[in-house]
Amino acid sequence: MSLKRIEKKVRSGNRLSSEEALLLFESDDIFTIGRLANQAAQLHNDNYVYFIQNHHINPTNICVNRCRFCAFSRSKGDKGAYELDLKKIIRKLKKQGARVKSQESSTHNSTVSHNTQLKAPFTEVHIVGGLHPDWSFDVYLDMIRQIKNALPDLHIKAFTAVEIDYFSSISGMSLMQTLEQLQDAGLESMPGGGAEIFNKRVRKKVCPEKIDGKRWLDVMATAHRVGIRTNATMLYGHVESFEDRVDHMLKLRNLQDTTEGFQAFIPLAFHPLNTTIEGARYTSGIDDLKTIAISRLFLDNFSHIKAYWVMLGEKIAQLALLFGADDLDGTIIEEKITRSAGALSANALTRNELIHLIQKAGKVPVERDSFYRPVR
Ligand code: V47
Ligand code: SF4
């Protein structure tokens, strides 16, 4: 089978098979793969590249799972273990420029408050953290409720499928009930973390305590059923094979055919520092670009492919915009998970820096909200 045949298939809008995706992973023809993926991205999103002004919060790093690739987590009592105070989280979010409804509505004849004029406001908070052995479901529920009460205009994207499964097990409620309660409290969408690689053998090596791939997919299917849109990720560049990556993406494509609840796919480049993965190293730029491009070509039912600059680094993330990605994520103030594992990227990017990266790639920047609606 040749790339020419795959090229023809892509041009005629036909879906790639797993064998074809594997052939792309095994090919060295990065330019052809990139060109095809760029064309596919243009069919989905024209020349637009999205970004959002957002803030990450990791309420605790104490986690019962202790995945081997996770340099962020600690066990209770370990040096460096932490628990954030909810009042402080809210104060920080307000101080750093989250939109505050009462302030906005108090400024007549103006759509922006004094606060938001001083600092460009972020519109989304992304909350994920450890599975804390002592926190009840009410602690997590209250966290969402209180943040929503204090900042009603802030979109709350929170908790991976792994956390949702944990809440369901500690509360004794079904996945559906757990998700509905979180939704009532103010949770509006979910990030795509915890998927890693679905293959059982790989999971056993890198995250033996984590829920299996089938459960991850069940949680997401349930979230989609209750009307919570989610993302999906794939952690690559550790012990998995190309076959494992293709199998992972196939399972996501199949679920998306049924629910249409995924918004974006995000390949996460493995970071090796302070992890206990044997022979661990950083991913190569070529592998990063190929993985982005192949995901764009294979996941024809996903509207968006995100180049997560925190893990790719700003420069590879910018190149990824020519290899099929149409989303750079956002300003991402305070990311801790990648930092703990040796991130080489900046701590945060400003709105202007994101716009600059996108424009210099010859694309059109669009500032978006959490559902990919343009905000300005
Ligand atoms: O689930 C943990 C990964 C994920 C490492 O949905 C690591 O918009 C690389 O899911 N090297 C959390 N990755 C982050 C995540 C995410 C990030 C940005 C946007 C969205 C979204 C989701 O980070 C974990 C795990 O897969 N991770 N350790 C590491 N050493
Ligand atoms: Fe815990 Fe998530 Fe880190 Fe695994 S990746 S140890 S579940 S925080």
Residue 39, CA atoms < 13 Å, CB-side half-sphere:
12
Q: Whose CA is nearest to atom 12 of ligand 1?
A: 193
**Closest residue by Cα to residue 371 from 231, 272, 267:** 231
For the chain, the helix, strand and coil percentages under 3-state DSSP, each to the nearest 5: 45, 15, 40
Q: For residue 19, tell me if it sits in a domain.
A: no
How far apart, in whole angstroms, are the C-alpha atoms of residue 43 and residue 38? 9
Q: Is the CB of 194 under 6 A from ligand 1?
A: yes
Q: What does each C-alpha distance from 249 to 39, 256, 294 come to in angstroms?
A: 20, 10, 10
Q: Is the CB of 308 under 6 A from ligand 1?
A: yes
Q: How high is the pLDDT of residue 99?
A: 52
**Left (φ > 0), alpha (ψ -120 to 50) or beta: where does 132 sit?**
beta
Q: Of the ligands numbered here, which is closest to the C-alpha atom of 133?
A: 2
Q: For residue 4, tell me if it sits in a domain.
A: no
Q: Print the SS3 string covering 174-215.
A: CHHHHHHHHHHHCCCEECCCCCCCCCHHHHHHHCCCCCCHHH
Q: For residue 235, tell me if it sits in a domain.
A: yes
What CATH number does residue 134 fall under? 3.20.20.70
What residues contact 12, with CB distance under 8 A and at least 6 apart?
A: none
Q: How far is the CA of 191 from the centre of ligand 2 (A)?
A: 14
Q: For residue 87, tell me if it sits in a domain.
A: yes
Q: Is the CB of 196 under 6 A from ligand 1?
A: yes
Full residue range of the structural domain in which residue 121 is found: 43-367
Q: How high is the pLDDT of residue 246?
A: 98
Q: For residue 23, tell me if it sits in a domain.
A: no
Q: For residue 36, tell me if it sits in a domain.
A: no
Ligand 1 atom with least separation from CA of 273: 30
Q: Whose CA is nearest to atom 16 of ligand 1?
A: 193
Q: How high is the pLDDT of residue 11?
A: 86
Q: Is the CB of 340 under 6 A from ligand 2?
A: no
How far apart, in whole angstroms, are the C-alpha atoms of residue 252 and residue 337? 24
Q: Of the ligands numbered here, which is closest to the C-alpha atom of 56?
A: 1
Q: What does each C-alpha distance from 93 to 45, 60, 97, 98 come to in angstroms?
A: 32, 16, 7, 6
Q: For residue 372, tell me if it sits in a domain.
A: no
Specify whether the CB–CB gap between 308 and 326 falls below 8 A. no
Q: Whose CA is nearest to atom 8 of ligand 1?
A: 191
Q: How high is the pLDDT of residue 335?
A: 85
Number of domains present in the structure of the chain:
1
Q: Is the CB of 266 under 6 A from ligand 1?
A: yes
Q: Print the SS3 string covering 101-124.
A: HHHHHHCCCCCCCHHHHHCCCECE
What angle (nearest 5°) sits at the alpha carbon of residue 128, between those of residues 284 and 80? 80
Q: For residue 221, tell me if it sits in a domain.
A: yes
pLDDT in tens, the chain (376 residues): 678 889 998 888 899 999 999 999 999 999 999 999 999 999 999 999 999 999 999 999 999 999 999 999 999 999 999 999 999 999 989 888 765 444 443 333 333 333 333 345 789 999 999 999 999 999 999 999 999 999 999 999 999 999 999 999 999 999 999 999 999 999 999 999 999 999 999 999 999 999 999 999 999 999 999 999 999 999 999 999 999 999 999 999 999 999 999 999 999 999 999 999 988 899 999 999 999 999 999 999 999 999 999 999 999 999 999 999 999 999 887 788 888 998 888 878 889 999 999 999 999 999 999 999 999 7
How far apart, in whole angstroms, are the C-alpha atoms of residue 186 and residue 147? 8
Q: Whose CA is nearest to atom 5 of ligand 2?
A: 70
Q: Is the CB of 66 under 6 A from ligand 2?
A: yes
Q: How high is the pLDDT of residue 98?
A: 62
Classify residue 153 as exposed, middle or buried by CB count within 10 Å of its CB (0-12, 13-18, 19+).
Answer: middle
How far apart, in whole angstroms, are the C-alpha atoms of residue 287 and residue 9? 23
Q: How high is the pLDDT of residue 117?
A: 36
Q: Whose CA is nearest to atom 5 of ligand 1?
A: 70
CA 327 to chain centre: 11
Token pair of 199, please?
A: 């293959």
